Amino acid sequence: MKLIRGGLTAGVLVLTTVACSAGGGGASGDAAARIAPSPKPTVSAARIAIEPASGASDVKPSGALKVSVASGKLSKVTVTDQAGKAVAGAISADGASWVPSANLSVASQYKVTAQAIDADGVATQADSTFGTLTPEKDAGPYDNIDNDGKYGVAMIVSLNFRKPVKDRAAVEKGISFETSDNTVVKGHWFGDQRVDFRPEKFWKSGTKVTVHYRLKSVEVSPDVYGGVDSDQTFTIGRDQRTTVDARKDTMTVVRDGETVDTVPITAGKPGFDSWNGTMVISEKAERTRMSSQGVSGVSAAESYDLSDVPHAMRLTDSGTYVHGNSWAIGAMGSYNASHGCIGVADARYGSDGSNAGKYFNSALVGDPVTVVNSKGAEVAPDNGLSGWNTDWQNW
């Protein structure tokens, strides 16, 4: 009995030992096989493409720079110019591409660094350097604003180009207005070489306005660039508005809401009737030359060439002025005798104490002058700074 118990015990021990040896070894090997990671690729499947190619030159500043990836997603794109300034841009929602959010600058060097990962998380990087073109032609833009100038409440900013503009939208995108009272400003094109800017209503006195021109790197026409990056700041002065009644032959001046003067005038005679509508003083000169040359309908008998007309304030490109007049004093307040201008009593060479002199000294470029009750047509919105005669909806 003892032997049997001993034998059974020994047998159990043997079996147990064998079971532990065989079962334990098999389980450990299977688990190792199940949890061992696959070898990670050392080369990313993502393929980054950068346009333009590295080393490229004479690259256009708009539309040429693109970064894309195949078999992966972009994780970071950095573009800097030669000064280290970063170029803003955004990776697309699907991670497949990146483009800059604004034009690059002309005549500049750029470095691109793009990073991407593939489906396994393996990263890759690509780099490129290139240069943008130096424009051979620009459109020669110029405006009518003096930096830090003070203007009347009807001032219109008029930007002219010496070469035709084909891409108006690109020009408008390159111009912005910053106003101290958040006044909204819109542009209106007159042909392909002029765009005027104004608010819906006259400016408020004291408004500070800064025009930001960012056109140097804008291709306004094929191979023609905007040519200028600058800021122009001006301020709106007191609110002075003038109304000329061509039937009553009077001129009334209202300043900051109060009538400060009403004086007799003479306007355009029959056949030379003054324009109706709102015009804007665009230039002031103590004296200027006025000639009938180029004025249609003037006979030889009534031709004129006056070299020193005093206190001249231009209203239109076609030659309408408010100006001092010493040769038609008798007509003022009684009948219209001019060739379209608004004549105001003055001394021969101008006097600060005359009606014309007082008005001249009170006036600012940008002041509105509205003519009513003339038998003439309404002034065209592109004749001088007469855009106020176009309603806001059509501006």
Provide the sign of the torsion angle of the four alpha carbons 87, 91, 96, 101, taken in this order.
Answer: negative
Mean pLDDT of 7-23: 38
Q: What is the mean pLDDT of residues 230-250?
A: 98
Q: Are 164 and 221 in contact (CB under 8 A)?
A: yes
Would the pLDDT of 25 be above 70?
no
Residue 17 pLDDT > 90, yes or no? Answer: no
Is residue 385 exposed (0-12), middle (13-18) or buried (19+ Cβ within 10 Å)? buried
- Bigger pLDDT: 307 vs 202: 202
Residue 334 has pLDDT above 50, yes or no: yes
Q: Do the beta carbons of residue 98 and residue 90 sit within 8 Å?
A: yes
Is residue 143 within a helix (H) or strand (E), and if so which, with residue range?
strand 142-143
User: Which range among 6-15, 264-273, 352-361 shows the weakest confidence by mean pLDDT?
Assistant: 6-15
Q: What average pLDDT does range 322-337 have in this prediction?
A: 97
Three-state secondary structure call for residue 4: helix
Q: Does pLDDT of 6 surpass 80?
A: no
Q: What is the pLDDT of residues 107-117, one digit of tens each?
A: 999 999 999 99
Nearest alpha-carbon partner for 155 in 126, 129, 172, 179? 179
- The pLDDT value recorded for residue 42 is 82
Range from 113-127, 297-311, 365-379 carrying the lowest mean pLDDT: 297-311
- The reported pLDDT for the residue numbered 213 is 98
Q: What is the rounded CA–CA span in Å between residue 330 and residue 335?
A: 9
What pLDDT is attached to residue 293? 65
- Write b or e for each residue in 15-53: b if 16 or more Cβ atoms lie within 10 A of its Cβ, otherwise e: eeeeeeeeeeeeeeeeeeeeeeeeeeeeebebebebebe
pTM for this one? 0.84
pLDDT digits (tens, 9 = 90+) for 188-217: 999 999 999 999 999 999 999 999 999 999
Mode of pairing for the β-strands spanning 224-225 and 240-245: unpaired
pLDDT at 374 exceeding the cut of 80: yes
**Residue 270: half-sphere exposure toward Cβ, Cα within 13 Å:** 1
Closest CA to 382 of 390, 393, 392, 394: 390
Percent of the chain clearing pLDDT 90 (strictly above) = 84
Question: What's residue 10's pLDDT?
Answer: 37
64 closest CA partner among 97, 89, 100: 100
pLDDT, mean over the chain: 90
Residue 2's pLDDT is what? 37
Q: Which run of H or of E encompasses 113?
A: strand 109-117
pLDDT tens digit sequence for 250-296: 999 999 999 999 999 999 999 999 999 999 999 999 999 876 666 66
Confidence class of residue 23 from pLDDT cuts 50, 70 and 90?
Answer: very low
